[in-house]
Chain A
Amino acid sequence: MHMKRKYTIDRKKLNAEEISKGKNFDQLMNMATPIKLPFYKAGWFGPSVITAVLISASIVTYILMSDMNNTTNSATYIPEKPKKENTIKNKLVTYSEDTPCINPPSESLQINGTSYKVDNQKGDKIKHASGTIIEIPKNAFEINGKLVEGEVEIKYKEYKDQVDILLSGIPMHYDSANTDYVLESAGMVQINGFQDDIPVDIANGKTIKISFPTEDNSKRFNLYELDTANNRWDYMGKPSLTNETETVNEKESEITQPKIEESIINEILTIDLNNDTLNITTNKNILNNYSTNIDQIQTDLNEVKKEIKELENNVPIQPKKSINKDRQFNLEVDPEEFPELSEYEKVIFEVIENTEFNNSLYSIEWDDVILEEYKKGEMYRMKLSKDDNITNLMVRPVLERKNMEEAIKKFENYTKKLELKKEEEKVLKEKYEKAYQKYKEELEKIQQEQKVREEAAKNWKKNTDFANNLKMSFEIERFGTWNCDSPVPQPKGKTVSASFSNLAGTSLILGTVYLIERKRNAIFPYNYNQYNKLKFNPEEDNILVGFTSDDQIAIFQTDKFSEIKEKKHEFKMELKNALDLSIKNLKKMILNQ
């Protein structure tokens, strides 16, 4: 809305007298028509002697003011009669405190709702992601008594655990017979209908059935509807417990069953990398192509390596021309002893240049000649002996001209073959590296997908189990906030007068703080006036949560409750910025979920 505007500049400033001209508290006192709280709700209701006197006085006043015949409405507000008509017309106030009923404590952490579109002429059976079934009959909606044509948007929120309830800001107090209970919830929902953002009503005579999964088969839970105008829960009977398998139109519902590939879920992927050897036990369907490829490359590589090794063990003589025919010996060598020389028909050993040699050696008829390898294919030691005369010569194998061409050809072939094999080995190694890298990437991808699928399968199974098992059902004739609860009394055991600070010891102003017992799906709020009687059961897993005005969450963890020994205790709270948290994180911190 954009109101009409005018502006003034430097309007005359008012003095104190002009301002206080309209001040008249006595007149306001005469005009005021406050609503009084029942005595047990009043802020001053407390344990002190003075308070006890006040309680007694209030009870007397209360009894005197109440209709003596009416004994059933003790938990409702008792309005005083208006004292006097006032001159200022009392208009309907529209500020939010008029309906302070739902007041989420955190700006940043709010429970998200889900929207469903329903054709009013057809109705629908919706399955919510949590497993809850919402059954809507056809022609269930109307606006101002007229049947709605076409699609209606159903906005649905569900509060399953203590954190959901805490963040909802929905009050969970229940007054019964002057005793203040807290509602332990089996499941709470908020459901509303709209067409083009205009709220629709549930048509006269129609009901919407809501069935949500539950693991609690006790019949202690009641059905309550939240009366937001009066900030209270109204008892609406009992929900029913059924153990039937629901048939749901999966096509129209939002939940879809994830595709579970058994091979992915069941197979365990392991990799054993050991130097050059890659041993893979893996998902055959998905990674088969990659692992086969790697296996093949590995086999080829091993084969090439073997061939190279063989070639290197059988290096032929690099052909060398004869230089000095006056320093040569013709010898027959055993090809088994010197396989490197076996390739050549005739090998001559020439005494190398820097070895002392005398032609007289030719004239001696040597008894024995021993050839020893010095450098394979290149240099040998020749030992000539006759009686005591022993001569050692360093010789090299050389070829005569007629054998040279053949020898060169043979050596070149060998060299080429070795080079080719080494090139082949290099290519195969590169291929192997690439294939292995690709395999690793694919494996990581599959493991990631597997994780997601397993999670989805787990959730789906959970939902399916719920859908097939116990359900708590109720039918509603009005949209709003509905709750299957059981009133539970305040915790018993220890009572302390609480104050709050951060870990550094600076005081905190928290407004309402909430005690949560992990095993009970309930939250116990304590407002400022109740800090002096904060109760908890030391035997339970307790956690205390509060919110600061700048949206920080203050948490007092379970293990610290054991440190509370005195009647006064300063709760040193750990502060977390709500903006930095998700609801999932908060649940992990508070509920260990």
Chain B
Amino acid sequence: MEGNQNLYHQSEEQLINENNDVQAAKSDLKYFESLYNKYHEQIFRYVYQRIDNIDLAHDITSQVFLKAMNKLHQYQFKGVPFSSWLYRIAMSEVYQYFKDKKAERTINFETEKIKDFIDEIEIDDMENKLTLLLEKIAELPDNDLEMIELRYFEHRPFKEISELLNISESNAKVKIHRIIKKLKMAV
């Protein structure tokens, strides 16, 4: 996922400035535009990674920002980037879409990232097992799949994953370790 790391790793000053933008947007929604411009691409990529339809991904992305604008009064600064909140809305929206439409969830693999993933989890004889691995990833429970995508295909830091999934950082590490173990055993 291009560019998201830099936006997640923000200095205290950047976080404070961003929160000032949010507070300004709370008083007048027109100030939300800077946040929209800053995070639109990230949120779109997140949605499009999970949905195999570009127009639909645009609609859902718009829906995410609309929700955020309507619910902005409920946003509370927790010392993490505003994008965490947006991602959680996006996660909910995507999930809700699949639930309502009974549509197919898409997993978009990129060869390079898959190679990195295989190197990282150290699976031998992967050339013969690649298809099986992709199938096993596709069969993972929703939460497990989400974690693998966030960590290995979108290269998000554990801290951000823990924020998005509302779990502790150590819990995120343990969970991912277990999923990898499960995948290695399956292939």
A241 within 8 Å of B by Cβ? no
8 A Cβ contacts from B98-152 to A: 98-100, 102-111, 114, 134, 137-139, 141-142, 145
Residues of B within 8 A of A512 (CB): 76
Task: Return A57 CB to nearest CB of chain B, in Å.
Answer: 10
Q: Mark A1-34, 1 if CB is under 8 A from B, else 0.
A: 1111111111100101011111111011101111
- How far, in angstroms, from A97 to B111 measured CA to CA in the complex? 36
Chain A residues in 8 Å Cβ range of B104: 3-6
Q: Give Cα A42–Cα B29 distance, bound, in whole angstroms.
A: 13
B75-116 near A? 1/0 per residue, CB < 8 Å: 111111000010011011101101110111111111100100
CB distance from A180 to the nearest CB of B (A): 16
Binding site for B on A (CB under 8 A): 1-11, 14, 16, 18-25, 27-29, 31-37, 42-44, 54, 77, 86, 88, 90-91, 93-98, 100, 107-108, 507, 509-512, 527-529, 548-551, 579
A29 to B138, CA, bound (A): 38
B70 touches A35 (CB 8 A): yes
| Majority secondary structure, A binding face | loop
Can you offer 10 A-B residue contacts whose CB atoms are under 8 A?
A3-B105, A8-B107, A27-B62, A32-B29, A93-B92, A97-B75, A98-B71, A511-B79, A527-B77, A550-B169
Q: When chains A and B are docked, how far (Å) is the Cα of A94 from the Cα of B48?
A: 20
Contact indicator B88/A96 (Cβ below 8 Å): yes
Given A5-B139, A10-B111, A507-B12; A35-B73 close (CB under 8 Å): yes
Min CB distance A172 to B, Å, is: 15
Contacts of B75 in A (CB 8 A): 97
CB-CB nearest in chain A for B94 = A3
Task: Tell me the nearest residue of chain A to B166, going by C-beta.
Answer: A96
Residues on B with C-beta less than 8 A from A23 are 36, 40
Q: How far is the CA of A509 from the CA of B102 in the complex (A)?
A: 41
Given known A7-B134, A18-B54, A42-B27, contact A88–B59 (CB-CB < 8 A): yes
Nearest-CB distance from B109 to chain A (Å)?
Answer: 5
A34 close to B85 (CB less than 8 A): no
B30, A29: Cβ atoms closer than 8 Å: yes
Known: A14-B48, A549-B79. A528 touches B41 (CB 8 A): no
Complex contact A19–B102 (CB within 8 A): no
Which B residues are CB-close (under 8 A) to A93? Answer: 67, 71, 89, 92-93, 96
Q: A5-B107, A6-B104, A8-B109 are in contact. Are A22 and B62 (CB under 8 A)?
A: yes
Q: Which A residues touch B23, using CB under 8 A? A: 43-44, 529
| Of the residues B76, B88, B99, contact of A95 by C-beta under 8 Å | B88
Within the complex, the shortest CB–CB distance from B15 to chain A, in Å, comes to 7
In the bound complex, do residue A22 and residue B139 qualify as a contact, i.e. CB atoms below 8 Å apart?
Answer: no
Cβ-based interface call for B26 (8 A): yes
Which residues of A have CB within 8 Å of B5? Answer: none
The distance from the CB of A80 to the nearest CB of chain B, in whole angstroms, is 10
**Shortest beta-carbon distance from B57 to chain A in Å:** 8
Top 9 A-B residue pairs of the complex, sorted by shortest distance between their CB atoms: A22-B58, A509-B79, A95-B92, A107-B168, A43-B23, A7-B107, A32-B69, A3-B105, A511-B78
CA distance A418 to B105 in the complex (A): 97
* A435 CB to nearest chain B CB (Å): 52
- CB of A8 within 8 A of CB of B108, answer yes
Asked if A528 meets B142 with Cβ closer than 8 Å, knowing A6-B106, A22-B59, A24-B62, the reply is no
CB closest residue in chain A, given B102: A4
Whether B179 is near chain A, meaning CB under 8 Å from some CB there, is no
